[in-house]
Structure 1
Amino acid sequence: MPRNVREVALFGAHCDDIAMGVGGTLLTLSAACPNLRVRAFVLSGGDTPREIEENHALRALCPGADVMVRVLDIPDGRAPGYWEGIKIALQSFRYHTEPDVVFAPQRADAHQDHRLLAEMVPTVFRDHLVLGYEILKWEADTPATAVYHPLTRDVAAEKARVLLKHYPSQTDHDWFDEESFLGLSRLRGVQCRYPHAEAFVLEKAVVRFGGQGA
């Protein structure tokens, strides 16, 4: 990840995807990077209580940051049928952000909305570091991850607290609880020798050795 992160772009198919996948990383970045700009794009939930939940949660995860959130009204579970409209909206969003890092779902996600967004984002953000986050859910699609962002115990606990506080519409799901959130982050922490972590699938990275440009 770049040492000096000034702006991040976040993509989620549903309100709460971003917070589950990258919430601890956002807490860490916001604390480490003064004046961080956060630009978020979500496919579904527009003009519903879920949009309000998303705005409150992302602001809680990015204290002190300049946060802008755009939430579309694509029907949940129907994103492939709205391919053209989503692509146009993504291209429009691209003109309003120049991120150092892009966080999006990962291509092997079993949910069609997540997967479509994962495939589209790199076609719009072609020259950026794109990290595919994992989304906790009932499908057995836990990815093989290559990139880890360590979290302290306090950050992992704060992420779980924000999720439970700001997404009351999701608490009826049997997997949406503190044990699940901390269990996954603890597992990823074990894999990188830290108390907790968030893990990512690497979409593409450009590596320069010796300080030489192209």
Structure 2
Amino acid sequence: AALAAFCPGADLRLTVLKLPDGRMPAHWEEAKAAVEELRERTEPDLVLAPRTEDAHQDHRGLAKLMTTAFRDHLVLRYEIVKWDGDLGRPTAYQPLSEDVAERKVRLLQEHYPSQRHRPWYDREAFLGLARIRGIECHARYAEAFDVAKLTLNLGG
């Protein structure tokens, strides 16, 4: 339900593995096989993955797997607000209207109740980061990404 709420009308596929939180390195082969299987059955226009510099080992591991498996695709690596304060220096921005920024915050609160108890998981943190990223790209709000690899076809 969360994926459909965030991306209405998009053709999305979700794969959820039963890996214990914080233990991806111990389950590397299982995670790698799942990502490789996903790559074999899909030809996505866009791949979203965590940043490879993310402080959380599961996020870092997934980022590396996705970037490797989808090496010929547009992979945008997103930021995750959390305790670690490991936000990076993004290279790509998507300006957001105030309505879209507010909707994102509302959907995060609505669809991820398991995170609500965390002090950093609140409206101010999400809108604050969106505001900072907006400043960086001359917009009110923005979503920011690192670009793993970008192949352009500018003609000629």
Normalised to the residue count of structure 1, the TM-score between the two structures is 0.70
Aligned to 1:166: 111
Q: CA deviation at 1:83?
A: 0.8
Stretches (4+) displaced over 4 A: none
Q: CA deviation at 1:157?
A: 0.2
Aligned to 1:191: 136
| 1:177 corresponds to which of 108, 116, 122 | 122
Q: RMSD between aligned alpha carbons?
A: 1.2
* C-alpha distance in 2 between matches for 1:158 and 1:58: 14
Amino acid paired to 1:184:
L
| 1:92 corresponds to which of 6, 31, 37 | 37
Amino acid paired to 1:197:
A
* C-alpha distance in 2 between matches for 1:137 and 1:117: 17
Aligned to 1:204: 149
* C-alpha distance in 2 between matches for 1:82 and 1:103: 21
1:125 and 2:125 matched? no
**Identity across matched positions, percent:** 52
Amino acid paired to 1:166:
H
Secondary structure of the equivalent of 2:144? strand
Amino acid paired to 1:123:
T
Amino acid paired to 2:35:
L
Any unmatched runs of 5+ in structure 1? 1-55
Deviations 1:145-172 (A, max 9, x none): 1100111000000000011111112110
Amino acid paired to 2:111:
H
Secondary structure of the equivalent of 1:197? strand
Q: CA deviation at 1:198?
A: 0.6
Aligned to 1:150: 95
How has the CA–CA distance of structure 1 residues 79 and 170 changed in structure 2, closer, same or farther, with 3 Å as cutoff? same
Secondary structure of the equivalent of 1:70? coil
1:64 and 2:64 matched? no
Q: CA deviation at 1:177?
A: 0.8
C-alpha contact 2:71 2:149 (8 A) present in aligned 1: no
Secondary structure of the equivalent of 2:66? helix
Secondary structure of the equivalent of 1:68? coil
Q: Comparing both structures, which one devotes a greater share of its residues to strand?
A: 1
Any unmatched runs of 5+ in structure 2? none
* C-alpha distance in 1 between matches for 2:152 and 2:113: 42
How has the CA–CA distance of structure 1 residues 66 and 205 changed in structure 2, closer, same or farther, with 3 Å as cutoff? closer
Amino acid paired to 1:162:
L
| Number of equivalent positions | 156
Secondary structure of the equivalent of 1:188? helix
Q: CA deviation at 1:144?
A: 0.8
Normalised to the residue count of structure 2, the TM-score between the two structures is 0.95
